[in-house]
Amino acid sequence: MSQQPPSTRGRGRPSSPVLSRERLTQAAIRIVTEQGYRRLTMASLARELGVSASALYNHVSSKRDVLVLIQDRVNEQIDCSPFNTRPWDEALREWARSYRRCFAQHTALIPVMAVLPVADSPQTLRMYERVARALCDAGIDGADAVDIIVGVEALVFGAAYDVLAPTDIFDPGGLEELAPTFTRFAAQRPRDPRAAADRAFELALDSLIGGLRQRFTGAVG
């Protein structure tokens, strides 16, 4: 945000600023985007930055800390703009879709994000504020508004995992006799696993928001 001068810290030589939280975050996202979370290690992150692994600990206190930095940057990409133009229920649906699209590519962050205090995550907090204000403007109570956010988030996180599920996830293999009805039903889903996951998510999201609309505005939609 605010521009910093290329400050000659201390008194002696300028000692060029090799590392920073910002550069560290960008490098981590680069690795994750290009090679996936499995390849993000403190060693690989250090290599990407041209420093030794131990040097990283001057800027973060643990690998978890790195994940937190990534997470806040990912949350910045979630689209909150629908809250500016649409009624709360439609905006909530668009927000959830964007949220899920983001985290489908970052499922490794879900266990971190789900229990992370917002105090460590300014962008997340900004996002919550936008949603809370929209719900408030719609006349929804404080505690209920937070519960709506938490509930929609829960569905989004769970559904994000499904995006990556393999095609054969509901193929019973040799166990078909254990579940004849379910097997028959599963065969009726779209063949493309992404399409199948999208369909299930849309059904659940539509139903959830429909239920919320009915509860909080009395409308049947």
Contact predicate 70/29, CB 8 Å: yes
Contact predicate 71/121, CB 8 Å: yes
Cβ within 8 Å of residue 87, ≥6 positions away: 138
Contact predicate 28/69, CB 8 Å: yes
How far apart, in whole angstroms, are the C-alpha atoms of residue 46 and residue 189? 45
Q: Which of residues 7-46 bind DNA (CB under 7 A)?
A: 9-10, 15, 17-19, 39-44, 46
- Asked if 64 touches DNA (CB under 7 A), the answer is yes
43 binds, among DNA, a copy of itself, none (CB under 5 to 8 A by kind): DNA
Which range binds DNA by CB under 7 A, 56-64, 76-84, 167-175, 207-215?
56-64
- Asked if 118 touches a copy of itself (CB under 8 A), the answer is yes
- Asked if 192 touches a copy of itself (CB under 8 A), the answer is no
- Asked if 172 touches a copy of itself (CB under 8 A), the answer is yes
51 binds, among DNA, a copy of itself, none (CB under 5 to 8 A by kind): DNA
Cβ within 8 Å of residue 8, ≥6 positions away: 14
Which range binds a copy of itself by CB under 8 A, 11-19, 52-60, 86-94, 112-120?
112-120
How far apart, in whole angstroms, are the C-alpha atoms of residue 4 and residue 173? 61
Residues in the site for DNA, rule: CB under 7 A? Answer: 9-10, 15, 17-19, 39-44, 46, 50-55, 57-59, 61-64
